[in-house]
Amino acid sequence: MDDYPLLNLFWTMLWFFLWIMWLFLLFKVITDIFRSDDLGGWAKAGWLIVALLLPYLGVLLYVIVRGKSMGKRDIKEAQEREAAFKAYVREAAGTHDAQGQGARGQKQGGHVDDLAKLAELKDKGAITDEEYQRAKTKLLV
C-alpha cells in the first residue's frame, strides 16, 4: 500500500465517479433518443451511432443540441405518469357521478376524506392516538 499514495487514490476515485456519471448520462441519452417523437428513424440511428462511436463527444453534443427538448420530454412523461396514477386511485376508490354521489345517492369517498383528515389531525398533534382510534372505529362501523 506504500507504493500507491493517497493522492493517487483520490484521483482514481474521482475518475471512477466521473466514468459512472458518464454511463448514467449515456443511458439517459440513449433512452431519450428512442422515446423522442420528433426524430425519424434515420435521425435516431445517426444520434445513436454518434453517441456510441464518439462516446464522450457524442453524448456531450446530444446534450448541447437536444438538451432543452430532453427536459421537456422528461416533464411531459412525469405529468403523464402522475395523471395515470391519479386516474388509477380514483378508479380504485370507486366510481362517482358528477356530484360525487354513489349509486344510492350517498357521498362516496367521504370516509376516505374523513380518515385522511383524522390522520392529519393526529400527525399535527391535535388529537391523541386514543381519540384517533375511537374516531376511526366510529367512521368504519
> 106: which DSSP letter?
P
The answer to whether the beta carbons of residues 22 and 33 sit under 8 Å apart is no
Q: Is the pLDDT of residue 13 over 90?
A: yes
pLDDT at 110 over 90: no
- C-beta neighbour count of 66 within 10 angstroms: 18
Cell of 65: 443540441
Q: What is the pTM of this model?
A: 0.53
Q: Residues 30-56: what's their mean pLDDT?
A: 90
pLDDT at residue 80, rounded to an integer: 92
Q: Does 72 or 101 have the greater pLDDT score?
A: 72
pLDDT band at 104 (very low <50, low <70, confident <90, very high): very low
